[in-house]
Structure 1
């Protein structure tokens, strides 16, 4: 019976999409690694504060500060920096002792933290990420080989169909419309299955080409639990020939 279930593979990480929108993320450091961390946080709509002496800022971090993308404190880290409702901390400084002290403070306050290049002092790892609109694909080596993660991520990205992000964007819009059409809690499983079947039946190119009118037509098939062909949905009113009085309706 045990063979019917997936085997346990210890040593992994719990891969999740952590929502930090409007949450306070503290970045300690201002070099190249910190710049990458800052970009990750900003892409996730976090409110970012950078703590670093101005002499240690690289050009990208200086740009983020000058454009008010981030809040900035021009000095070294102090424990008080953790007082302002900090949800997450990224440490990227060339001072192992200071980094460990920040790690210990974060643990005391139960604030998740990542200490760059010190896997043993990380609550989470940064993977290599491919981004295409709403699509995010992350490859993690659990701190063992960041460069290998980058190589694997590029291979995966190259294998993805073109315009995958645009197709996902359209499916997201359709899902929201479907929730409005069938908002009941009992409709949840049916909605999920119907959308899944659509994604399996239509190609990426068809999902990309789907416009607002197509979505409205498509939703008309939901109550019948039918997934029409793309060509059926494209058969709009404007493409139907008028009645000629003798041969009936024709398309």
Structure 2
């Protein structure tokens, strides 16, 4: 990864982030920091992915973070200061200590290992952001403001939570069952599904 190139500003001001939905139960996530921000990051991950495979490392932890971890068997707490060996066999990293030097070291070491890393409240040291998320059953919508305004992402999340009907999951399940009954090749199935869902655009 070329750190210099990856941090170049986007000239036209558009959001060029690529949204992706990860199966965190199949990955290894490291969170460095056991304070309020660490609690916030862990809570955010577990809200969407309650079986996320996460290890949190810090010399000490907030009691609330310990309580949260105890409710999730896939979360491990390690009472130690960060060490570079902790990055072995990881897929993504979050650093949220109150020491910017430590956070920067985590970022630099992660980049050398081609690991994607997020440094809390430091956009220029982030390979990804944790955006707003709306979940209604099997339907999940991720919202990003390109790291510019978390408050806007929050308000958009609240808006979509209100306007998306609660029974949308039933519709998704029914469409999934119907799709299984379709005959023909992939293109024919896509065409048929597009036809029966076309009316949704006008609702």
Q: TM-score range by the shorter chain?
A: 0.7 to 0.9
Determine the C-alpha separation between the residues in 2 that align with 1:99 and 1:30.
Answer: 13
Among 153, 172, 177, the alignment partner of 1:168 is 172
Question: Compared with structure 1, are the counterparts of its residues 194 and 28 closer, same or farther at alpha carbon in structure 2 (3 Å cutoff)?
Answer: same
Counterpart position of 2:39:
35
Determine the C-alpha separation between the residues in 1 that align with 2:192 and 2:43.
Answer: 36
Counterpart position of 1:192:
190
Question: Compared with structure 1, are the counterparts of its residues 104 and 151 closer, same or farther at alpha carbon in structure 2 (3 Å cutoff)?
Answer: same
CA contact (8 A) 2:136 2:166 kept: no
Task: After TM superposition, give the deviation of residue 189 of structure 1 in Å.
Answer: 1.3
Determine the C-alpha separation between the residues in 1 that align with 2:58 and 2:177.
Answer: 41
Counterpart position of 2:98:
94
Determine the C-alpha separation between the residues in 2 that align with 1:58 and 1:165.
Answer: 36
Determine the C-alpha separation between the residues in 2 that align with 1:167 and 1:107.
Answer: 42
Determine the C-alpha separation between the residues in 2 that align with 1:26 and 1:100.
Answer: 15
Q: What are the residue-to-residue correspondences of 1:70-109 with 2, within 5 Å?
A: 70-83=75-88, 85-109=89-113
Question: Compared with structure 1, are the counterparts of its residues 134 and 31 closer, same or farther at alpha carbon in structure 2 (3 Å cutoff)?
Answer: farther
SS at 1:33's partner residue?
helix
Task: After TM superposition, give the deviation of residue 147 of structure 1 in Å.
Answer: 1.0
SS at 2:24's partner residue?
coil
Task: After TM superposition, give the deviation of residue 73 of structure 1 in Å.
Answer: 0.7
Task: After TM superposition, give the deviation of residue 40 of structure 1 in Å.
Answer: 4.2
Q: What are the residue-to-residue correspondences of 1:102-251 with 2, within 5 Å?
A: 102-175=106-179, 177-178=180-181, 182=183, 187-201=185-199
Task: After TM superposition, give the deviation of residue 193 of structure 1 in Å.
Answer: 1.9
Question: Compared with structure 1, are the counterparts of its residues 200 and 145 closer, same or farther at alpha carbon in structure 2 (3 Å cutoff)?
Answer: same
SS at 2:196's partner residue?
helix
TM-score normalised according to structure 2 size: 0.80
Report the aligned-residue RMSD: 2.4
Q: Does 1:47 align with 2:45?
A: no
Runs of 4+ in 1 over 4 A off after TM superposition: none
Compare relative contact order (CA 8 Å, sep 6+) and give the higher one, 1 or 2. 2
| Rg larger for | 1
Determine the C-alpha separation between the residues in 2 that align with 1:111 and 1:202.
Answer: 40
Question: Compared with structure 1, are the counterparts of its residues 9 and 171 closer, same or farther at alpha carbon in structure 2 (3 Å cutoff)?
Answer: farther
TM-score normalised according to structure 1 size: 0.66
Instruction: Could you tell me which runs of 5 or more consecutive residues in structure 2 were left unpaired when the two chains were aligned.
Output: 1-10
SS at 2:175's partner residue?
helix
> Aligned pairs, how many?
187
